[in-house]
Chains A and B, each alone.
Chain A
Amino acid sequence: MNIGVVLLFIIGVLLYVLGYSVWMLKKGVHSMRLVLFGFAMACALLSYTYWCIFDLMYADEEKALPFAANELGEWALFLLLGATLTFGLAKKRVSLFLEMEAMLVFVAVNVILWIHWNGEWMQDIVTGLVMAYLLSAIIRRMKYSGKFTRKQWILIALSGYLAVAFQIVAVWTEPYIEGCFIVEPPLHDWAEKAGYVYLLVASLVYLGVSLAELLKKGVEERSICLSFMSIAFCTFSMYMSDGIWYILEMIGSTLAILLMFFSLRKEVVAS
């Protein structure tokens, strides 16, 4: 599968979402959350357009994209998604300690894995901070809503930690050089493939559950929280995947954008 085609698909989806948001605002729907969400989509649109143009212009040179403006666009996207979720959210006296601790450990392990894979210390740490902000916004909104049971919280945490566990096993069993031979431990290939399959299945489950909540009536809060959790999970999965698995996760995160938008629309219309 060509990444250029996927990028064009994402750009198409983002244009649709952005156009629809502008149309809703023009029609008199007054929601600052919609403005912030539209702004986040504009950041994503320019970021993916940049990547698409780079891919078209430098495809023959096989040049890797260095740190560039599109990364700033990605960070802004996640920060603005966090701001969309928490804008106007009244503070409540709810303990978030356990959830926040678990989230911070999850993000920290991810950052270590990213640094191990690509060695881009600075970018990986900043991306980790940005993702931690998004996840903290999602957790806050979920806790304040009070619509999630203890069992569901445990399942969400388990889904993240299981993804990380597969990757840690894959990293621990990475091939190494002994003498002049490359030794490929038998467990490595299995752990890596199982990890990719797990990530994809878990992403699909997140997307499916979000869609089911979106189609139900009167559960706007759950729908919004789950759709934002879907994009966070798909993004982490994308960063943990490689090759075709990366592209599939990218498509998953694009579908999550649509789910987020329609959940937000449902909330705005309901209010």
Chain B
Amino acid sequence: MTIYAENILLCIAIPLAVSLMFTRGESRRFVAAFLIGMGMCLLAAYISGFISLVTGLSEKDTAVFLSPVIEEVMKLVPLMFFFLLWDMKGRGLTNVAVAIGAGFATFENCCYLLSVGAESLFFVLIRGMAVGVMHVESVLALAVWFLIAKRLRALSFSTVLGGVALATTFHAIYNLLVSKPGASTVLGYIFPPVTALAMFLLYRLLRPQFARVNGDGSV
């Protein structure tokens, strides 16, 4: 079924854009980042479509192999903008990251459900949970890594690319697992929540250690 992604974006974005006029501070920033996330999702779809045409890859192969790279880079762009240009720190940056991820996932889910239908509540819940967690988790992990790397004075091209590569490969594993029906799809849907839990535990485990380290990497 053909969907008009731009029209869908406009329909969802206008109420949110209106709400920007009546909110202030952190709430306004969250809504703005949410809108940016949705916009990035549309841009990522355009770029994926273009690359699919240029390279001759099938729609499915593009979705499985190329889309994760494009989508993660598109999510990185506004995050880097907030991080480097506005010099956002701590909770402010993680809130923005969550909003970008949530906006991206929301728009992707809207388009997906409009194209395949939303009859099965169970499927909708599973899909919403898996994609929502995956997009939010990848961009949040990236933001946390940037904050840690900056604090430890290790922010460089290598560390930024490392973060993007980690987020991209994680996203790509999910896309690969759900690309074929059967047991792999079930594993794919379980994968984001399980890794989110593992990352949360790891962060809790190592946070006191990072807090004790000074800016130059010494204790």
Contacts and interface: CB of A to CB of B under 8 A. Distances in A.
B154 A69 contact: no
A50 B172 contact: yes
B205 interface: yes
B111 interface: no
Contacts of B173: 46, 49-50, 53, 69
Interface string B192-219: 0000000000100110010011001111
Contacts of A77: 165
B168 interface: yes
A170 interface: no
Contact of B206 (A26, A31, A42, A49): A26
B176 A76 contact: no
Interface residues of A, number: 38
B169 interface: yes
A46 B169 contact: yes
Q: Chain B contact residues (Cβ within 8 angstroms of A): what range?
A: 35 or more
B205 A26 contact: yes
Interface string A56-79: 010000000111111011011101
B166 A30 contact: no
A161 to B, nearest CB: 27
B69 A72 contact: yes
Interface string A68-104: 1110110111011011000110000000000000000
26 contacts: A26-B206, A30-B217, A30-B219, A32-B154, A36-B154, A36-B159, A39-B145, A46-B166, A46-B173, A47-B165, A53-B177, A57-B176, A57-B180, A65-B65, A66-B57, A67-B66, A68-B68, A69-B171, A70-B169, A70-B172, A72-B165, A72-B169, A79-B161, A80-B159, A88-B216, A88-B217
